[in-house]
Structure 1
Amino acid sequence: MNAYVFPGQGAQFSGMGLDLYEKSDIAKELFDKANDILGFEITKVMFEGTAEELKQTNVTQPAIFLHSVILSKALGDSFKPDMVAGHSLGEFSALVANGTLGFEDALRLVSKRAMAMQKACELQPSTMAAVLGLEDEVVEEGCSFIDGVVVAANYNCPGQLVISGEIDAIDKACEWMKEKGARRALVLPVGGAFHSPLMEPAREELAAAIEATTFNTPKCPVYQNVTTKAVTDPEEIKKNLIAQLTAPVKWTQSVQNMIKDGAISFTEVGPGKVLSGLVKKVDRSMETILASI
């Protein structure tokens, strides 16, 4: 079975999507439609903007979503996933890829998600940190007794776990992780504590928008960040997508379950190649492919 995976925030780069726009009629049509839906020329920022401009909240998430989804559409008949998954934001791309969400509805949700997360970040200063070289259980243990909000947020691959929470709590957690033998415990340049309880205001705001959106029965299962299992029921997909903002991204476990369920290759659709690297760290024998037209 062929698994298709979609990247999340951080994969953006200046010039992203320009080759698609120039090579594919369907890509040009969808990019132009996206400009209308968002009410500004996101294509201008994607194709010509600086790294700093691409980091703007109202740009980053829609830009990565658009690159991934439009690439999947431009692949035409060769795009045949048996299963899909997306890392955090990438789950929205995956849900368009398997037919659960329409392009326009998903883009509006992604834009709303970005704005809601930005507002939540402004309510309370917070951050995230990458912990390398420790067992998941040790990182979880450290998070459990440090004062303040700090939780395991992204299970990226064995030996790489991102924690999320209040700034002081993250700093203390990083020190504790280093004492326990972490190869690195590094605060990340992010706007806030994504996938933590501090995103609750954003979860509530996004929940209303998701509930008001039509979710179709998908053409193939999605392995969602929250449950890590194959899901095909639209109502369950909705529930998991709402929970995702305050729950951890269990990417390692999702990839393991996709392999257990028969995946023999993973195609990464979107900017960058981060997920291909993570898949290889979960199982070195897996074939990984970068989608291109």
Structure 2
Amino acid sequence: MGKVAWVFPGQGSQAVGMGQTFLNHPEALQAIGRRLGFDLLEVMSSGSKEDLQETEVAQPAIVAHASLLAQAYAKSGAAPDVVIGHSVGEYAALVSAGVIDLEEATVLVRARGQLMSEVKDGTMAAVVGMTDLQEALHITEKISASGNLVQIANLNCPGQFVISGHVDAVEQAGVELKAAGAKRVLPLNVSGAFHSSYMMPAATRFQDVLASSPFEAASVDMISNVDAEVHRDPEQLKALLTKQLYSSVRFEDCVRKAIADGVDTFIEFGPSSPLSGLIKRIDSNVSIQKATTLEEVASLGGEVRA
């Protein structure tokens, strides 16, 4: 039997009613809410789609949800060999790797979300059906050179990536990418140009937030979005989390690195499971499981309690 990777989705995986699976075991979310200064359980259980789209709410909600599911599964004796997060999902990966506790993770991602939300005038779009990344890079670099920045922000799987930057530049890039072979360009409902150079001011400020956070060495291999390499050192992890804000999320490379290192089973924990489809498109031979509720954790063999 090969190794097992636990994977954690990022912003966009939130879902209305996502917190209802924890209503019979509310203590952890209530404690997190007290730390954050608002009722996280209430928002996760009864909040509207609009409530959950606020970056500074969505990010702690996603990390808390995914981490609590993984912790419930861990109570059965299960443990990962490798952890991978997608963007803010890296903070749930840090929790599962023993780098920080869950309350600290949610405090960090709320601060991260607030700083990201303060950077205005940018947007993102998903590009589907284009496999020629060199041509995509040529198009985005040409547009950026003319004045308004646009960059490739996420490399998700073969034929799917995300662009990020100035609103006008993203729109222009969408037109040119479709002319170059992309089947679809889908605008994303986000508040800024995440994972682009627009985020560098936020990253500088977030670096100061991370500096005082009590990180421990990771107990299992964590594959970073920034370089798709394994890291365990706490200071290296902090530096990578800072860089992640303005760097491309190399999710496809992270998955391929895990497979090259012997992983043949991926388990996705989160309010929804967008990464499972991406992983299947990266390598259809691996085993993929998912848990979006405590009941689904039980089906994996975990305990139905947070």
Quote the residue 1:77 is aligned against.
Answer: 76
Q: Is the 8 A contact 1:116 1:202 kept in 2?
A: yes
Superposed, 1:194-213 pairs within 5 Å as 194-213=194-213
**Aligned residue number for residue 18 of structure 1:** 20
**In structure 1, the residue corresponding to 2:119 is in which secondary structure?**
helix
Query: In the alignment, does 2:117 pair up with 1:130?
Result: no
SS at match of 1:3: strand
Write out per-residue CA displacement over residues 180-223 of structure 1, whole angstroms, 9 at most, x where no aligned residue.
11111222221110000001121111110111111101110100
2:142 maps to 145
| 1:133 shift after superposition | 1.4
1:102 aligns with 2:101: yes
2:89 equivalent in structure 1: 90
Q: Name the residue aligned to 1:48.
A: 46
1:46–1:63 contact (8 Å) kept in structure 2: yes
Q: Identity, % of aligned pairs?
A: 38
Task: Answer whether contact 1:267 1:288 (CA < 8 A) is retained.
Answer: yes
Structure 1 contact 57–115 (Cα < 8 Å) conserved: yes
Q: What is the correspondence of 1:115-264 to structure 2 with a 5 Å cutoff?
A: 115-121=114-120, 125-134=121-130, 135-146=132-143, 147=146, 148-264=148-264
Runs (5+) with no aligned partner, structure 2: 292-296, 299-306
Q: Secondary structure at the match of 1:77?
A: coil
Quote how far apart the aligned CAs of 1:71 are: 1.1
Q: Is the 8 A contact 1:133 1:184 kept in 2?
A: yes
In 2, Cα distance between the equivalents of 1:32 and 1:42? Answer: 7
Q: Name which of 20, 30, 33 aligns with 2:31.
A: 33
Distance in 2 between residues matched to 1:79 and 1:88, nearest whole Å: 24
**Is contact 1:9-1:61 (8 Å) kept?**
yes
Distance 1:133 1:78 in 2: 41
Letter in 1 for 2:68: I
Residue 49 (structure 1) shift = 1.2
Q: How many residues align?
A: 286
Where does structure 1 lack aligned partners over 5 or more consecutive residues?
Answer: none
**Counterpart check, 1:57 vs 2:55:** yes
Are the counterparts in 2 of residues 72 and 79 from structure 1 also a CA contact under 8 Å? no
What is the CA–CA distance in structure 1 between the aligned matches of 2:18 and 2:251, rounded to whole Å?
Answer: 24
- How far has the Cα of 1:285 moved from its partner? 0.8
Alignment-mate amino acid for residue 39 of structure 1: G
- Structure 1's consecutive aligned runs of 4 or more residues displaced over 3 angstroms after TM superposition are none
* Aligned-partner Cα distance in 1 for 2:275–2:261: 19
Question: Which residue of structure 2 lines up, in the alignment, with residue 287 of structure 1?
Answer: 287
- The residue type equivalent to 2:56 in the other structure is N
